[in-house]
Structure 1
Amino acid sequence: MSRDRLAASRAHRSQTMEMSNLVSTSPAGGSSSLFLSEVANIQDGIRHYNENVSRISVLRSQLLNEPNAEGSEQLDSLAEENRNLSQDLKGRIQRLAQQPQGQDAELRRNQIALLQSKFMEAIQNYQLIEKENRAKSRQRVERQLKIVKPDATPEEVAAAFEGGDEQIFAQALTTSTRYGESRAAYREVQGRQEDLRKMEQTLAELAQLFIDMGTLIEQQEAVITAVEDTARDVEGNTEKALQHTSEATDHARSYRKGRWICFFISLFVVCVLALVLGLVFGTKK
C-alpha cells in the first residue's frame, strides 16, 4: 500500500512538471481562462505539498518509535519530492506575477496574492512540523544516551546531537553492565543523528524558500505601487488637460461671441451713418 502511494505521488509530480512546462512555454499575459487554469493547477500543487507534509509527519512519528529502512526510504522520497515541488511552485507563481496585466489586472493580483499566501502558509506549516519532530528526536537521543551513560553532562548530550559522541559511547560501553542494550542505544543514536542532519537541512531550505517568497511579494508590491503611481499621474495629467481644453473652449466661445458683437455694433453704426447722411442730403435737395 505504501509503495502504491509512493508511485501515485511520483505520477502526480510528473504531471505537475508537465503542466508547468506547458505554462512556461505559453505566451505571457494569456487569456483569463488560461491564467485561472494555471491558478487552479498551482492550488492543486499546494494541496499535494500539504498532503506530503502530513504524510511526512506521520512517518516521522512512526520512525521515532520503530525505525525501519522502508519507512526511512519513503520519508526521504517524500522530502525530496516536496523539495522539488516547492521550487516548481515558487517558479510558477513567480512567472504568473511577471506576466503583463490587462483589463483583468485586479483579478490577477488578487489570485496571485492568494496563491502566495497559501504557499507561504504551507511552508510555515512544514517548518513547524519539522521543528516539532526535531525536538522529539533530540529528546529521544538524550534518553538513549542516558541509557549508556546516566550521568551524561549537557555538553556530552550536545555532542551526541552533533555526532561527536563516539568516545563517549566507547568509554560507556566498556563499563556498562548492560552491554547489549547500550549497543542498541548507540546504533539508534547514530541513526537519529542522520535524521537530525536531514531535518536541519530541510529547515534551512524552508527558511530560504520563505525568504524568497517574501522577496517576490515585496518586488510585486513595488511594481504595483509604481503602476498605481503612474496611473494617478496619468489621471491627474488627464484632468489638467481636460481643464485646459475646457478653458480654451470657453475662450474660443468668448472670442467668437465678441466678434459677433463687434460685427453687429459696426453694422449698427453703418446703418446710423447711412440714415444720417440720407437725411442730410435729402434735406439739401
Structure 2
Amino acid sequence: MTNFYNQVTAVQDGIAQFSSNVARIADLHSRTLNSADDNASRQNTALLDDLVGQTRELSNSLKEKIQSLSSYPVTRPQDQAIRKNQTSLLRQKFVEVLQNYQNVERDYRQRYRQRVERQFKIVKPDATPEDVAAVVNDTEGSGAQIFTQALSSSTRYGESRLVYREVQDRHHDIQKIERTLEELAQLFNDMSVLVAQQDEAIDTIQTTAIDVEGNTRAGLEQTEKAVKHARSARRKRWICFWIFIFVIVVLALILGLYFGVGPGKK
C-alpha cells in the first residue's frame, strides 16, 4: 500500500495547490475590477487567464487521480476499507474546493455585471432595465446596438468610447466566468458519477461476499451430509463384515461337529 499512500499524498498536495490558485484568482478578479489603469487591468486579465488555465488542468488531473485511486487494486478486506475511506475523504475535500471556486466565480460574475451596468448608465442615464439587461448579457448582438445608439446621442463621446471598451472587456470576462462555471458543473457531475460507481462496486463486493458465504455454508452442509453418509456406509460395511464372520464361524462349528461326531458313532 506504500504506492497508494504516495498517490494519496500527491492528491492532497494538488488540492492544496488548487485552493491556493482559487485565492489568487479571486485577488486578480478584484484587481481587474478596481484598476483604473487600462494597461494594469489588461495585465491582470492576462495573469488571470493563465492562472485559470492552470487551475483547469489541475482540476482535471485531480479528478483523474481520484478516479484512479478509487479503483486501486487491493485484495485484503482491510486494504479495501482503507481505500474506500481515503478516496472518500479526498473526494469530499476536492468537492469542497470546487464549491469554493464556484462561489468565487459566481460572486465576481455578479460584480462584473454590476460594473457593466454602472458604466452603461454613465453613457445612458435614462436606460431602461431591459436596455441594461441587453448590454450586460450581450455586447455583440442587441446589447451592442443599444450601446452604439447611446454613444451617438452622448455629449461626452470620448469618455463614452472608453466606457464602451471597458464594457466589452468586462463582458468577455463574464463569458470566461460562464465557461469556468460550466466546467465546474461538469466536475461536480463527474464526482457524483464516481460516488455512484464506487457505491455500486461496494454493493457488488458485499453481494459477492454474501453469495460466497452462502455457497460456503451450503458446501459445509453438503460436506457434513457426505461425512454422515460415509460413516453410515462404513458402519454398515463393518456390520456386514461381522455378520459374514459370524456366519463363517457358525458354519465351521456345524461342520466340525458333524464331521467330528459322525465317525465316532460309526
The amino acid across from 2:219 in the alignment is A
Match of 1:202 in 2: 180
The gaps in structure 2 that reach 5 residues or longer are none
The amino acid across from 2:163 in the alignment is A
Matching of residues 66-81 of structure 1 within 5 Å: 66=35, 68-81=41-54
Distance in 1, Cα, partners of 2:245 & 2:147:
123
Deviation of 1:65 (Å): 1.8
Candidates 19, 22, 25, aligned match of 1:53:
22
TM-score (norm 1): 0.78
Match of 1:41 in 2: 10
The amino acid across from 2:174 in the alignment is L
Distance in 2, Cα, partners of 1:185 & 1:212:
41
Distance in 1, Cα, partners of 2:208 & 2:54:
43
Deviations 1:146-200 (A, max 9, x none): 2211221222122212113333333323433444543443232122111101101
Match of 1:85 in 2: 58
Distance in 2, Cα, partners of 1:166 & 1:238:
75
| Greater C-alpha radius of gyration | 2
Matching of residues 149-164 of structure 1 within 5 Å: 149-161=124-136, 162-163=138-139, 164=141
* 1:101 is aligned to 2:79: no
TM-score (norm 2): 0.83
Distance in 1, Cα, partners of 2:105 & 2:153:
36
How many residues are paired up?
A: 254
C-alpha contact (below 8 Å) 2:25/2:51 kept by paired residues: yes
* 1:216 is aligned to 2:194: yes
Worse-superposed segment, 104-113 or 83-92: 104-113
Deviation of 1:267 (Å): 4.1
C-alpha contact (below 8 Å) 2:124/2:150 kept by paired residues: yes
Candidates 90, 95, 112, aligned match of 1:137:
112
The gaps in structure 1 that reach 5 residues or longer are 1-31
Task: Name the SS for the 2:171 alignment partner.
Answer: helix
C-alpha contact (below 8 Å) 2:4/2:72 kept by paired residues: no
Match of 2:90 in 1: 115
Q: Percent identity?
A: 52
Deviations 1:79-106 (A, max 9, x none): 0100111111122222233333222222
Distance in 2, Cα, partners of 1:133 & 1:201:
13
The RMSD of aligned alpha carbons is 2.5
